[in-house]
Amino acid sequence: MMLLPLYALAVWFVCFRLRRMWVGWFALVAAVSLVVALVFVYPHLQRWFTGESTRWSSFQFVMWGEAIMVAVVGVFILCLPREIVQVPCRKCGYELEALAAEAGNVRCPECGTERAVKV
Ligand SMILES: [Zn+2]
């Protein structure tokens, strides 16, 4: 019973580590494809082991839910920013760390806000 939540957490962890990278998107597509493949392989396995198969079972319903949940949360995690801004512009959030260290409270080069560093 814990396999599906653990699988989702493992995929999301990988997505978090690889966020904003192409390899992260490949990992998410591979992980969701595995779950979707199980949905389509399951009736064949069921027929092989029990001799009969149902077109739509609760297992398949749960696996579609798992696939959708892993995909939606995975996409959200992959879109999270990779780096945390140390000295953000107070208006647009642009990184001002190097400029602020050099010249103090500067004008933001991105949006033009004067004294952009939050004090
Ligand atoms: Zn700005």
pTM of the model: 0.70
Backbone angles phi, psi at 95, to 5 degrees: -70, 120
- The predicted structure's pLDDT at residue 12: 97
Share of the chain above pLDDT 90, in %: 55
What range does the domain containing 97 cover?
A: 84-119
Residues 61 and 96 in one domain: no
Residues 90 and 46 in one domain: no
Q: Ligand 1 mean position to 117 CA, how many Å?
A: 9
- Say whether pLDDT at 106 is over 90: no
> In 3D, which of 78, 94, 89 has the Cα closest to residue 114?
89
Residues 7 and 60 in one domain: yes
Q: Ligand 1 mean position to 99 CA, how many Å?
A: 12
> In 3D, which of 107, 106, 24, 20 has the Cα closest to residue 71?
24
> In 3D, which of 95, 63, 82 has the Cα closest to residue 23?
82
Residues 8 and 64 in one domain: yes
**pLDDT single digits (tens) 13-58:** 999 999 999 999 999 999 999 999 999 998 888 889 888 877 778 8
Q: Ligand 1 mean position to 118 CA, how many Å?
A: 11
Residues 57 and 95 in one domain: no
Residues 7 and 63 in one domain: yes
Residues 63 and 97 in one domain: no
Number of domains in the chain: 2
Q: Ligand 1 mean position to 91 CA, how many Å?
A: 5
